[in-house]
C-alpha cells in the first residue's frame, strides 16, 4: 500500500475539514460542533465509535486481524481563548482560536482513519483513534483514560503516537522526536499575600503585601538557580500579578500566579515543596500572611526510547531521509498525552508547519494570535499516522518482530 499517495488524493478534503474546524473553534472539554464535524467525516467507515460521557470525545476502533496487537493514535481537538489576528479568510471570529494547530491534528487523524479503513484487510491488528478535547489545561486525556480509552479495543494498546504541529522552530514538513523526556511537566504556583492596608504616605503604619509579593517573585528565581542542576532545569515565570486600586493606597492583599516547568519527576517533586516554603519564609520576614498553593497540571512527557527510534526509522523510510532528525532537547511546553505515555509505550512527534515562505525561526509561535500553519502538511501528517499504525502492527507485541 502507498499511504502517502493515497493521502495526497485526500488533500483537498483534509484542507476543507481543517478550515471548517478552524472557523468555529471551541475550548475546554465541551466541543459539540467539533465532535459533530469528526463524526461526519468518520460516517460510513467500518469503525466502532463511542463518544465520551464527561467530555465530547470520540473514540473509534478499526478492526484488523483478529487478536492482533493494538495501536493508539491521538489527535487533540480543542482551541484556545485567544482572539485571532491572522487575517486569514477562514479566521475565527468568536474570540477563540486554533492557535496551537489542533485543527490540523483533527483533520490529519480523520485522514488516517480513512486511509487505514481503505486497507483494513491488510492490518495486522486493531487501531484506536483518540479524538480528544481539553488538552489546553483541562486534562482531557485523563478524562478519556478514566472512561476506558485503553480498553476500547478489548486489549490494551501496544504503542501510542501523537503528532503535534509547530508554526515556528522547524522547517515545513520536518518530523522530530526523541527518546526519553520530550516535554516538560506543567504546574501552577498561586500565591495570595495578606497584609494590612493603609495610606501610601505612611507605609510604616501598614503591612505592605506588595513589597512582600515582589520579594517572593525575586526570591523564587534565586532559589531555583541555586537549587536545581542546570542539566535538570526548572523554569518559573510569573504571568499575573495583581494588587491595589490607587497609587496612594496600600492594599490588603497582593496576588500572583506563576507557571512552573520541570523535566524530571524528582525536580517536579522538589520544586513543589520548595516554592511554597520560599513564599512562607519571605512572608514571615515581612510580617504578612501568605496562602501558597502548588497545583500539578501535566506530568513530564516521556517517550519510550525504542518507540522513538521506530518513529525515526518509519519517517525516513516513508518520507525520505531528509524529513527526520532527532529532537536535540525537550520542549518546554507540556502535554496531557503524557498521561497516555505513562500507561503505554509510545512517542510524541513534532511536525514543522510554518507558513509558506516564512522563516521558521521568526514565525509567530504556537499560542500566538498571529500563528499560522501550512495546510500542505496535512496529507503527510495523515499518511504518517497511518504508516506508524501499519508498521507497528506488523512488528507485533512488545517490540518483538512478528516472525519471532
pLDDT at 397: 77
- Pair 179, 303: CB distance under 8 Å: yes
Residue owning grid cell 510554518: 354
What pLDDT tens digit does each residue of the chain (404 aa) get? 689 999 999 999 999 999 999 999 999 999 999 999 999 999 999 999 999 999 999 999 999 998 899 999 999 999 999 999 999 999 999 999 999 999 999 999 999 999 999 999 999 999 999 999 999 999 999 999 999 999 999 999 999 999 999 999 999 999 999 999 999 999 999 999 999 999 999 999 999 999 999 999 999 999 999 999 999 999 999 999 999 999 999 999 999 999 999 999 899 999 999 999 999 999 999 999 999 999 999 999 999 999 999 999 999 999 999 999 999 999 999 999 999 999 999 999 999 999 999 999 999 999 999 999 999 999 999 999 999 999 999 998 764 443 33
pLDDT at 403: 39
pLDDT at 402: 39
Tens digit of pLDDT for each residue in 279-309? 999 999 999 999 999 999 999 999 999 999 9
Tens digit of pLDDT for each residue in 37-51? 999 999 999 999 999
pLDDT at 396: 83
Tens digit of pLDDT for each residue in 81-138? 999 999 999 999 999 999 999 999 999 999 999 999 999 999 999 999 999 999 999 9
Of 106, 115, 114, 95, nearest to 18 by C-alpha is: 106
pLDDT at 398: 64
pLDDT at 295: 94
Amino acid at each position: 500500500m502507498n499511504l502517502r499517495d493515497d493521502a495526497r488524493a485526500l488533500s483537498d478534503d483534509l484542507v476543507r475539514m481543517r478550515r471548517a474546524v478552524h472557523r468555529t473553534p471551541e475550548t475546554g472539554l465541551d466541543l459539540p460542533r467539533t465532535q459533530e464535524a469528526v463524526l461526519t467525516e468518520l460516517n460510513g467507515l467500518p469503525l466502532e465509535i463511542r463518544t465520551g460521557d464527561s467530555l465530547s470525545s470520540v473514540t473509534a476502533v478499526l478492526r484488523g486481524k483478529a487478536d492482533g496487537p493494538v495501536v493508539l493514535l491521538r489527535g487533540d481537538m480543542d482551541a484556545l481563548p485567544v482572539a485571532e489576528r491572522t487575517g486569514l479568510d477562514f479566521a475565527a471570529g468568536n474570540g477563540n482560536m486554533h492557535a496551537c494547530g489542533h485543527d490540523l491534528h483533527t483533520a490529519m487523524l480523520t485522514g488516517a482513519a480513512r486511509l487505514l479503513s481503505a486497507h483494513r484487510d491488510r492490518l495486522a491488528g486493531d487501531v484506536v483513534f483518540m479524538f480528544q478535547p481539553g488538552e489546553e489545561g483541562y486534562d482531557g486525556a485523563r478524562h478519556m483514560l478514566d472512561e476506558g480509552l485503553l480498553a476500547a479495543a478489548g486489549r490494551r494498546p501496544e504503542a501510542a503516537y501523537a503528532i503535534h504541529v509547530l508554526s515556528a522552530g522547524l522547517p515545513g514538513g520536518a518530523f522530530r522526536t526523541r527518546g526519553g523526556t520530550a516535554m516538560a511537566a506543567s504546574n501552577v504556583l498561586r500565591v495570595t499575600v495578606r497584609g494590612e492596608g493603609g495610606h501610601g504616605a505612611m507605609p510604616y503604619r501598614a503591612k505592605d503585601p506588595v513589597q512582600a509579593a515582589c520579594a517572593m517573585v525575586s526570591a523564587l528565581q534565586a532559589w531555583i538557580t541555586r537549587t536545581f542542576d542546570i542539566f535538570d532545569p526548572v523554569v518559573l515565570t510569573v504571568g499575573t500579578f495583581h494588587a491595589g486600586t490607587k497609587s496612594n493606597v496600600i492594599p490588603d492583599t497582593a496576588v500572583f500566579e506563576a507557571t512552573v516547568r520541570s523535566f524530571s519527576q524528582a525536580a517536579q517533586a522538589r520544586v513543589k515543596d520548595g516554592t511554597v516554603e520560599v513564599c512562607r519564609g519571605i512572608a514571615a520576614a515581612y510580617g504578612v500572611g501568605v496562602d501558597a498553593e502548588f497545583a500539578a497540571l501535566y506530568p513530564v512527557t516521556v517517550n519510550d526510547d525504542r518507540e522513538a527510534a521506530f518513529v525515526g526509522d518509519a519517517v525516513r523510510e516513508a518520507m525520505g531521509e531528509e524529513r527526520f532528525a532527532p529532537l536535540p532537547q525537550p520542549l518546554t511546553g507540556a502535554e496531557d498525552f503524557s498521561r497516555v505515555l505513562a500507561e503505554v509505550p509510545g512517542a510524541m512527534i513534532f511536525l514543522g508547519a510554518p507558513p509558506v515562505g516564512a522563516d521558521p525561526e521568526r514565525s509567530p509561535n504556537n499560542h500566538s494570535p498571529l500563528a499560522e500553519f501550512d495546510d500542505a502538511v496535512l496529507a503527510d501528517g495523515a499518511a504518517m499516522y497511518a504508516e506508524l499504525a501499519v508498521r507497528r502492527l506488523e512488528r507485533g507485541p512488545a517490540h518483538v518482530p512478528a516472525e519471532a
